Amino acid sequence: MKGMNNQLGPIVLSISLILAFFTGCGERYPQGKALYEAQCAWCHMSDGTGLEGIYPSLVDREDLRQQLWRIPCAIRYGVYDSLRVGDDTFSLVMMGFPELTDAEVSNISNYIALSFLKLQEGPYNERAVVEMLKRCRSREDTFRLLKSKLQSQ
Ligand code: HEC
């Protein structure tokens, strides 16, 4: 009986870890998930798959895994240039969300990284986001230009 208990321990532990893994993605970044659902899901969908030919999917995107800065850049300043993903070209504009703080941008990006890009750890934190946002100067410029045009109308 004692031997049996010794074997059960690791099995119970593994099952709990597997369950925690499958249910844990959203719970690790609850604010990121909530903001994603409220601000992003109506275009990119709750499961991140987007809408064919209109809103790009964020699921399993190797280009985003390789260039993690593109997610915070898209959130803060939007996406105005056309985008090629696989065989699809996306040319609609995505407006930025300049009102979201660095911490909120970090949480949404981590939620996307874990849930859709299947990373094991969230690569973002506030400091990393501030550094990454320096890489999207051209988007920042486009954003400023559009904003000043709108204001002068
Ligand atoms: C009104 C619809 C809409 C909303 C809301 C929206 N997006 Fe987008 N998103 C788009 C479109 C359209 C594109 C492609 C833009 C293009 O090709 O110019 C895009 C592109 C992207 C990209 C790809 C950028 C790249 O460089 O490849 C990311 C990442 C992204 N969105 C994340 C988000 C996140 C996170 C949110 C919520 C904070 C969000 N989007 C909200 C429509 C939307």
**Would you list the domain boundaries of the chain?**
26-152
SS3 84: strand
Contact 65, 99 (CB under 8 A): no
pLDDT 10s digits, 11-34:
665 665 555 555 555 579 999 999
Structure tokens at 104: 């909120």
With cut-offs at 50, 70 and 90, classify the pLDDT of residue 141: confident
Q: The domain 26-152 belongs to what CATH superfamily?
A: Cytochrome c-like domain (1.10.760.10)
Model pLDDT for residues 56-72, shown as the tens digit of each residue:
999 999 999 999 999 99
Instruction: Check if 74 has its Cβ closer than 6 Å to any atom of ligand 1.
Output: yes
Mean pLDDT of the chain: 88
- Regarding the beta carbon of 49 and ligand 1, being less than 6 Å apart is answered no
- Give residue-wise pLDDT tens across range 116-128: 999 999 999 999 9
- pLDDT tens string 42-51: 999 999 999 9
pLDDT of residue 109: 98
Mean pLDDT, residues 103-124 taken together: 97
CB 68 near ligand 1, within 6 Å: no
Percent of the chain scoring above 90 in pLDDT: 65
- pLDDT value of position 143: 81
- Cα–Cα distance for residue pair 71/129, rounded to 1 Å: 10
The H-assigned helical ranges of the chain are 2-28, 30-35, 41-44, 62-66, 70-77, 102-115, 126-133, 137-152
